[in-house]
Amino acid sequence: MRDNQPAPPRYPQPTRLAAGETRHWCGCGHSGTAPFCNDPACPTQDRIVYIAPRDEIALFCGCHGTRTPPLCDGTHAGLHQRPAWWKRLWGRKK
């Protein structure tokens, strides 16, 4: 059964920030406003604070595969190169 919560974004989420503005990136994936955290029950270690050093458009990670949280490092591009599950299964039967 599928829950009614929207799926988290898979691609980077560009966000315009002013210098000194703070955002909390959700590392647990339970937020309804992904990629940002809005769940008060979210553990503190899963909330990553980002303070904009200057006026900028920051690319926040949506796939949660980044090695540089909370910002995107391009990991999502490699996720498409993996063959579909049914192709991997088909390859084992030969």
pLDDT tens digits, one per residue of 35-55? 888 777 777 777 889 999 999
Q: Considering the domain boundaries, does residue 51 fall inside one? A: yes
Report which of 21, 24, 52, 50 is spatially closest to residue 37, judged by C-alpha positions. 24
The predicted model gives 63-75 an average pLDDT of 86
Q: Considering the domain boundaries, does residue 23 fall inside one? A: yes
pLDDT number for residue 83: 57
Q: Considering the domain boundaries, does residue 64 fall inside one? A: yes
Q: Tell me how many domains the chain contains.
A: 1
Tell me the CA distances in angstroms from 70 to 3, 85, 93, one per residue in order.
26, 28, 40
Q: Considering the domain boundaries, does residue 66 fall inside one? A: yes
pTM here is: 0.70
Q: Considering the domain boundaries, does residue 6 fall inside one? A: no
User: Residue 29 above 50 pLDDT?
Assistant: yes
Cβ neighbors of 35 (< 8 A, separation 6 or more) are 8, 9, 13, 25, 26, 60, 61, 62, 70
Task: Please say whether the beta carbons of 19 and 55 come within 8 A.
Answer: yes
Residue range(s) defining the domain that contains residue 27: 13-92
Q: Considering the domain boundaries, does residue 57 fall inside one? A: yes
Q: Considering the domain boundaries, does residue 5 fall inside one? A: no
27 token code pair: 């590392």
Q: Considering the domain boundaries, does residue 8 fall inside one? A: no
Pairing of strands 22-26, 47-51: antiparallel
Cα gap 94→79, rounded to integer Å: 25
